[in-house]
Amino acid sequence: MRLSQLFAPTLREDPAEAEIASHRLLLRAAFIRQVAAGVYTTLPLGLRAMRKVERIVREEMDVSGAQEIRMPIVLPAEPWKATGRWDLYGELMFRLTDRHGREMLLGPTQEEVATPLVDAGLPSYRDLPVNLYQIEWKYRDEFRPRFGLLRGREFLMKDAYTFDRDEQGMARSYDIMLRAYRRIFDRLGLDYVVVEAEPGQIGGGVNHEFMARADVGEDRFVECENGDYLADQKAATPGRPEPASQDGLAELETVDTPGAATIEEVSGFLGRPSEQMLKTMLYDAGGRTVAVLVPGDREVEEAKLERAFFPTTIRRFEDGEFASRGFVKGFVGPQGMGEDVTIVADPSVRGRADWVTGANESDRHVTGANTPRDFRIDRFEDVVALREGDRCPVDGATLHVGRAIVVGHIYQLGTIYSAPLDARFVDEDGEERHYQMGSYGIGISRILAAAVEQFHDDAGLRLPRATAPFDVVVVVANRDDERVAAEAERIYGELGELGIEVVIDDREQTAGVKFADADLVGYPVQVVVGRRGVETGSVDLKLRASGDRSTAPLADAAGAAVDLLASAP
RNA sequence: CGGGACGUGGCGCAGUUUGGUAGCGCGCAGCGUUCGGGACGCUGAGGUCGCGGGUUCAAAUCCCGCCGUCCCGACCA
């Protein structure tokens, strides 16, 4: 490819709309251009990089027994209504109406397409398992698209769906995909972690997220300093304290705390640390009141609470609901709560006695509150939000919270789609059963952004070979010198014949512009052919990843470039 | 959706407070000089100042409405 021909309008200055590195550099290096919020055109360089990611994903899927198909983007509403996701997705779903007034949508993922497909095609257990995948654009009308390719409303995803006759089969298929994913992210050269995660809107049970470490990541994960525990922050369980001694418990006493409605205010007023307070949070679970108890210095992780009450939806009390349901906001305590309230406590509540908590009347709190003497607990559930410095549940060491970009998410779905869609096969015993399904996503376009977040510097992109759009650039440093141009063309031709993905910068630009662009786009290897070198019989080489420069004989420039490329990450 | 900021040639910005002939840098075109880290000179093209309405002798500037984009919060690959 000749840069004089390539549509690659690089930008000298940072675009005003881009803040983070991947967004900024993908725009500047002419990989993408914005069309609307969260919607981008992919330019030749960007498309080549994305194809590189696709290729790795495709290869690993294929060797894992997955078969590539292609499903439509414009979809009928009916299956989505059957699974409940027509409503569940809400405004996140792009909806449209066809000329006949039929409701349709742009696919945000395709369980509702793949499941009927297999149902109609594979009636017997003898045909299972089956694993189908596609690489196709997905549409989600995000509340707030941002960060360029990291959260677009249109994004390229590899999605796979497995169908098994039983749970063991599902787990086997899942494991095969899990290992394929590890190989994919290894080959991409990403610094990533695999964590157990919350299932989110897809639903289901066992699931893992693949997270690329990045400071700009919107997701957080927890890892033990000793490396023996990893989890999504929303799913992570901190180590638990020993149960508190039940000897010498204090008496329950009511104290005046005028105007002190928050943990902080009460703590200050009474001179007691916030961890001695028992925080009582009120929620509505399908009409029933749920009181959630956590130590005063902890926050409730509502994702955990939702999981504990799934499929009932959980909602925090609105201000007006306290009074109408007989509670005093700011002074709620679990003492004397009736059977109409479900009292859930985090296990950490076991670790302490003599709590300070609300007295259920305005401007008063109680001290010395203990269970079961003064209040009951109906259920213990892990509901606290994990935070930096918590104890590891495995070895008690310190946990750290890291930020990351979710680039892959896999789920064991069971029958949560096959049942409502009534997708069945005939099992060995002649009975019809619902498929045990799995679903497996990888954000292809997001991977490109995540890779840029991990591989860039002040000068531009520094993608590894696995994802760089080309391997080598041959820079013609003196454009008006015929010998230089001829030698550069020769080297360019030789590299091409060696199967190297090579570009020649034959543009009518000064050397400085070409060097800057070469660094910006981030070709792993730069070969610079200039007048001085041609006269002395040498070329200059630069390894983009390290910045290391070297020289090689002019006659063997191509071979030297190949050798250098082999050392490139 | 709530909170904040912005919208002026292709890109980055000034001008708006205090209304009065639309400017700078980069890029682009032509000519010349340059030619290994974003060259220089001369000449030139290019703008309904986001859109609509209003106030005014006069609006990029003041007022109202709308649209778009970005940043901070609840969802996800």
Spell out the residues 6+ positions from residue A80 whose beta carbon is closer than 8 angstroms to its own: A86, A89, A93, A105, A112
Does the model's ipTM exceed the 0.90 cut? yes
In angstroms, how far is CA A71 from the centroid of its own chain?
A: 23
As a whole number of angstroms, the distance between CA A54 and CA A158 comes to 8
Straight-line distance from CA A322 to C1' B53, in Å? 47
Q: Which chain B nucleotides are covered by protein, judged by CB under 7 A?
A: 1-2, 11-13, 25-27, 34-39, 68-77
| pLDDT value of position A312 | 77
| pLDDT value of position A415 | 94
Q: Is A516 helix (H, G, I), strand (E, B) or coil?
A: helix
CB A421 within 8 A of CB A122: no
- Strand B: which residues 177-196 of A lie within 7 A (CB)? none
Burial of A242-267, coded b for 16+ CB within 10 Å and e otherwise, reads: eeeeeeeeeebeeeebeebbebeebb
- Strand B: which residues 118-147 of A lie within 7 A (CB)? 140, 142-147
A279 φ/ψ angles, rounded to the nearest 5 degrees: -85, 125
Straight-line distance from CA A94 to C1' B72, in Å? 25
The model's pLDDT over A469-490, given as tens digits with 9 standing for 90+, comes to 999 999 999 988 999 999 999 9
Which DSSP category does A420 fall into?
T
CB A353 within 8 A of CB A244: yes
In angstroms, how far is CA A262 from the centroid of its own chain?
A: 34
| pLDDT value of position A528 | 97
- Strand B: which residues 470-489 of A lie within 7 A (CB)? 477-480
Question: Whole-model pTM above 0.80?
Answer: yes
As a whole number of angstroms, the distance between CA A131 and CA A420 comes to 20
- Strand B: which residues 27-46 of A lie within 7 A (CB)? 34, 36-38
CB-strand contact A200/B, under 7 Å: yes
| pLDDT value of position A525 | 98
pLDDT, mean of each 10-residue run, chain A (569 residues): 95 90 96 94 96 98 98 96 90 92 95 96 93 97 91 96 97 97 98 81 74 92 91 86 85 90 86 90 88 90 81 79 85 91 92 92 92 92 89 91 93 94 96 96 96 96 97 94 95 98 96 97 97 95 97 97 97
Which DSSP category does A60 fall into?
H
**Residue A526 burial class via C-beta count within 10 angstroms: exposed 0-12, middle 13-18, buried 19 and up:** buried
CB A474 within 8 A of CB A527: yes
Nucleotide of closest approach to A475 (CA, C1'): B36
* Sole residue written with tokens 């993922």: A109
The alpha helices in A422-474, defined as continuous H runs, are 444-454
A17 φ/ψ angles, rounded to the nearest 5 degrees: -85, -5
| pLDDT value of position A234 | 84
Secondary structure tally for chain A: helices H, strands E: 14, 31
Straight-line distance from CA A448 to C1' B11, in Å? 24
Q: Half-sphere exposure (CA, 13 Å, Cβ side) for A31?
A: 30
| pLDDT value of position A260 | 84
Q: What is the 3-state secondary structure (H, E, C) of A318-351?
A: CHHHHHHCCCCCCCCCCCCCCCCEEEEECHHHHH
| pLDDT value of position A509 | 93
